[in-house]
A and B are shown apart, each in its own frame.
Chain A
Amino acid sequence: MSRGEELVRWLEKELGGNFISAEATIPGRLFIDLKREALSAAAAGLMNRGARYQVGVGYDARKSGQGFGLVHTFAFDKDSLLVALRTFAPGDDPEFDSLTPLIPGAGWSEREYQDLLGLKFRDHPNPRRLVLSDDWPEGIYPLRREVPHDLMPPAAEEVAFRLDEAPPGTSIVPFGPFHASLHEPAHFSVYVDGEDIKGCEYRGFMTHRGIEKLAQTELTYNDVPFVAERICGICGSVHSVNYAQAVEAAAGLRIPRRAEFIRMVALELERLHSHLLWLGVAGHLIGFDTVFMQAWRIREKIMWLAERLTGNRKTYGMVIIGGVRRDINQDRSEDIRAVLKEVEREMLALEKAILKDRTIHRRTRGVGYLSREEAVKWNLIGPVARARGVDIDARRDHPYAAYDEVQFEVPLADSGDVWGTLVVRVKEVYEAIKIINQCLDKLEKLPKNQPLAVDLEGPIPSGRQGLSLVEAPRGEAVHYVLTGEDNRPERWRVRAPTYPNLQAVPSMLLNNKLADFPIIVGSIDPCISCTDRVLVVERSSGKAKLLSRQELENLSRGKRSKK
């Protein structure tokens, strides 16, 4: 009996009348509908069976009379299985059990829907207003259907987020909202005693662009990949491929094999240039600008290659629902091989220089340490988790595209620090090169001049769920699509890899030196704009006083009434 069948059988038995239905749309996906009373029990059961929490998705289903929908997704990495638990609450009583006490990683997701949809979560340990900007008026929930996508409430002056006071004996060093070591807006208020970090408060999500709302109201299925690609300034294809896979899974489309390999080439090229970019940034953050310049010089070759292949250095514009837009022919294939050979040679030289440098060891070993248990507790993913000995990689555990046809290693480290993430990323560069070369071998053997995309036979039926994973350079990215009417998704949810990883940064920072702040934050390779589709606030050190939702409201109202 497979894990999926076993789970369904157990849920039916355990939940009795609260269990509604289960559907295995494609291999490796299980969509379960429950009554909302059973949500915590079902989630606890999944976690006890070794599930890894991924993301929560809330949506407005009042049009179809179902009230508000809430989906929590879980991964069973050993069994290549993704499970989505869906529950509904009536429109006039949108309250669910909070999963956060059980799964700390669910905190952000739940708080997102508290603000965007007006959902309520019973027993949430930290129900602060967090998703919307500080001057957003109360009672307007932007993801609800009746709120137009371009609503712009008048900005309120002098409403600023109140950061917590520093704990006694410490003072605050503000890293952000703009700081040379953070390449995107984010605010870490770091509590220091001398140069020792005693805690920090994170305030981010300042680049919210409302992309999900846009896709659900203005765009069509085939517009979204091009917008999705613009979620991230580095790993665009991750999001366009991921979205397309989710829609294809929902629609039951099988895309041409050739297109799958071409998507893989695009994804792995992105991993290459992303890791080289990270290596350069890491060098810069510890004051080693020569590594920065050399890594980016090597990276530039890949950028130029991408331009020759797709017309763009990044934002390749290759992906549509059902396939890809451009082929990789023999000439281009040889071009790629030549560039990869060159990159591999230069990378080996750079690696040798880095691994031998004693000062780099001193600056990264033991810095930003987090144990394996903590990494699992926070659902860390990608190189950040693999540097802590957590053996997960969506490419191997939940193979998509044609990853089941290529051979590659998943590099691991057990040092649990910044050094580990460096080693893992350097090794992944070689694995990416290996994968691309295998893809090119396969592409050369596959029949040529075949269509690169399949056509839809009719409109995609509404109400179907699709869940897709892509292993981005920073870790697993999750896309959830619920198909809708008018040729556009009813709900599209993006969870970028930085979303869970960022939540663990305060733990990594604790008791390190201030001088190590940039490299520790840098070690998760934070992609703020990916994470900032929405606006979230996170409190961290645990010692500082919290500003309650009510206090914050009073604060903003008090200020406003003065005007």
Chain B
Amino acid sequence: MKVTAVIINLLYFLALAPFLEGVMRKLTARIQSRQGPPLYQPYLDLLKLLGKENLNAAGHPVFRLAPLLAFASILSAIALLPLAGQSSFLAHSSDLMTLIYFLTLSGFSILIGALASGNPFAGVGASREMMTIIMLEPVLAMTLILGVVRAGSLNLLTATAGVSSARGLSYFLMMAVYLVALQAFVSRQPFDIPEAEVEILEGPYIEYSGPNYALFRYTLNLKRMFYSWLFVVGFLGFWLPGSPVLNLVVQTVLILVLFVLISVVGATHPRFRMDQALRFYAALVLLSLVAVGLGVRGW
């Protein structure tokens, strides 16, 4: 039964993530006075890519390995999640640190894939991606640590619930920081800098095509959904009903609302330059540290 819960976890994410991208694309299109693709378009895109010949453009085994590693690590991260307020079957052998490791590994896989491709645009994209990971990972960690401080446990269920257990100054500050960082977590404007199509032609992914690329796309979709999910469960967890089914429904609706927000912000902002974004990220990291400090003081 508990294993089934993990499978449901994975299926829920795998099934919904491309749909959320569809929502984002449709909304962006409407804001731009366009018709936009149907909501199910991302599924077709993935299917199409998966059906193509798998080219190893760089001729390097790492190039082929990177998308698999990225996809596998994001799936592993998802398998640990306490979906619908239920602790994961894997919770006894994992905790918050494991989650952070898997997330970092997934970002790291994109880096090594980009570097293995040997393309100068991928190189620039990788260096931008690396800076983003270095600057933003602490914001994610601090959010979870705030929960740990509150709950006194590294268990994922209690830690995520801990974030919103007391809604004082630290809670609101961290929520604001996370909301801004979310736009960068999901790499949408103004923070889609590592991919920046007109500058570096999708950066890390430039040499990727077919199934390899499909895996990266899917990873990105899952990641976006994960970060939105974390916001909903972490900061709005106190809202969620106790019944697992109802809980899941409310979660899904809230994630959708969050995606609407992401799309609107993305469609109404130009892209920052890396140096401008870095200053922004630095402020976010500092503020998240302050929030944890406040949390420790019990504010």
* Chains A and B come from one and the same complex: yes
A:267-324 near B, CB below 8 Å: 283-294, 297
Q: A180–B270 contact, CB under 8 A?
A: no
Which A residue sits closest to B269, measured CB to CB? A359
A251 to chain B, nearest CB (A): 47
- A293 vs B127: C-alpha distance when bound (angstroms): 30
Contacts of B273 in A (CB 8 A): 362-363, 513, 515-516
Contacts of B189 in A (CB 8 A): 287-288
Size of the chain A interface, CB-CB below 8 angstroms: 34
Contacts of A171 in B (CB 8 A): 120
Which A residue sits closest to B273, measured CB to CB? A515
Q: Does A214 contact B (CB under 8 A)?
A: no
- A562 vs B189: C-alpha distance when bound (angstroms): 52
Q: Does A243 contact B (CB under 8 A)?
A: no
Q: Does A233 contact B (CB under 8 A)?
A: no
Q: Does A376 contact B (CB under 8 A)?
A: no
Contacts of A377 in B (CB 8 A): none
- With contacts A173-B121, A173-B124, A287-B190 taken as known, whether A513 is within 8 angstroms of B32 at the C-beta atoms is no
Q: A513–B275 contact, CB under 8 A?
A: yes
Binds A, one of B62-70, B196-204, B211-219, B225-233: B196-204
Q: B276–A290 contact, CB under 8 A?
A: no
Q: Does B274 contact A (CB under 8 A)?
A: yes
Q: A174–B120 contact, CB under 8 A?
A: yes
Q: A180–B32 contact, CB under 8 A?
A: no
Contacts of A287 in B (CB 8 A): 189-190, 192, 196-198, 270-271
Contacts of B283 in A (CB 8 A): none
State which of A293, A359, A518 has its C-beta within 8 Å of the C-beta of B190: A359
Q: Does A517 contact B (CB under 8 A)?
A: yes
- With contacts A297-B33, A359-B269 taken as known, whether A173 is within 8 angstroms of B274 at the C-beta atoms is no
Size of the chain B interface, CB-CB below 8 angstroms: 29
- A374 vs B2: C-alpha distance when bound (angstroms): 72
- A40 vs B1: C-alpha distance when bound (angstroms): 93
Q: B198–A284 contact, CB under 8 A?
A: yes
Contacts of B275 in A (CB 8 A): 195, 513
Q: Does A514 contact B (CB under 8 A)?
A: yes
- A327 vs B223: C-alpha distance when bound (angstroms): 60
B74 to chain A, nearest CB (A): 25
- A297 vs B124: C-alpha distance when bound (angstroms): 33
- With contacts A513-B273, A513-B274 taken as known, whether A172 is within 8 angstroms of B201 at the C-beta atoms is no
Contacts of B192 in A (CB 8 A): 287
Q: Does A26 contact B (CB under 8 A)?
A: no
Which B residue sits closest to A288, measured CB to CB? B270
Contacts of B120 in A (CB 8 A): 171-174
Q: Does A541 contact B (CB under 8 A)?
A: no
Q: Does B238 contact A (CB under 8 A)?
A: no
Contacts of A289 in B (CB 8 A): 28, 32, 267
Contacts of B276 in A (CB 8 A): 362
Q: A514–B124 contact, CB under 8 A?
A: yes
- A495 vs B94: C-alpha distance when bound (angstroms): 70
Q: B34–A515 contact, CB under 8 A?
A: no
Which A residue sits closest to B191, measured CB to CB? A287
Q: Does A179 contact B (CB under 8 A)?
A: yes
Q: Does A41 contact B (CB under 8 A)?
A: no
State which of A288, A293, A359, A514 has its C-beta within 8 Å of the C-beta of B199: A514
Contacts of A181 in B (CB 8 A): 198-199
- With contacts A359-B270, A362-B272, A515-B273 taken as known, whether A290 is within 8 angstroms of B124 at the C-beta atoms is no
- A180 vs B200: C-alpha distance when bound (angstroms): 9
- A208 vs B199: C-alpha distance when bound (angstroms): 26
Which B residue sits closest to A357, measured CB to CB? B270
Q: B270–A283 contact, CB under 8 A?
A: yes
- A195 vs B128: C-alpha distance when bound (angstroms): 10
Q: Does B31 contact A (CB under 8 A)?
A: yes
Q: Does A360 contact B (CB under 8 A)?
A: yes
State which of B127, B198, B272 has its C-beta within 8 Å of the C-beta of A285: B198
Contacts of B291 in A (CB 8 A): none
A:221-269 near B, CB below 8 Å: none
Q: B201–A360 contact, CB under 8 A?
A: no
Q: A290–B196 contact, CB under 8 A?
A: no
Q: Does B193 contact A (CB under 8 A)?
A: yes
The contact string, 1 if C-beta is below 8 Å from chain A, for chain B 180-211, is 00000000011011001111110000000000
Q: B270–A286 contact, CB under 8 A?
A: yes
B131 to chain A, nearest CB (A): 10
Q: Does B268 contact A (CB under 8 A)?
A: yes
- A357 vs B270: C-alpha distance when bound (angstroms): 9
Q: B199–A515 contact, CB under 8 A?
A: yes
Contacts of B121 in A (CB 8 A): 173
A432 to chain B, nearest CB (A): 23
B59 to chain A, nearest CB (A): 20
B269 to chain A, nearest CB (A): 6
A187 to chain B, nearest CB (A): 14
- A290 vs B263: C-alpha distance when bound (angstroms): 12
The contact string, 1 if C-beta is below 8 Å from chain B, for chain A 160-193, is 0000000000011110000111000000000010
Which B residue sits closest to A174, measured CB to CB? B120
A215 to chain B, nearest CB (A): 36
A518 to chain B, nearest CB (A): 5
- With contacts A287-B189, A515-B193 taken as known, whether A360 is within 8 angstroms of B270 at the C-beta atoms is yes
Q: B198–A288 contact, CB under 8 A?
A: no
B83 to chain A, nearest CB (A): 34
Q: B201–A363 contact, CB under 8 A?
A: no
Contacts of B199 in A (CB 8 A): 181, 514-515, 517-518
Which B residue sits closest to A286, measured CB to CB? B270
- With contacts A171-B120, A172-B120, A173-B120 taken as known, whether A294 is within 8 angstroms of B33 at the C-beta atoms is yes
Contacts of A290 in B (CB 8 A): 28, 31-32, 267-268
A:504-543 near B, CB below 8 Å: 513-518
Q: A179–B196 contact, CB under 8 A?
A: no
- A87 vs B192: C-alpha distance when bound (angstroms): 57
Contacts of B28 in A (CB 8 A): 289-290
Q: B196–A515 contact, CB under 8 A?
A: yes
Identify the 4 closest CB pairs spanning chains A and B, nearest first: A287-B271, A288-B270, A293-B32, A181-B198
New contact pairs (5) apart from A181-B198, A363-B271, CB-CB < 8 Å: A180-B201, A195-B124, A283-B270, A290-B32, A513-B275
What are 5 contact pairs spanning A and B, CB under 8 A?
A289-B28, A357-B270, A359-B269, A513-B273, A518-B198
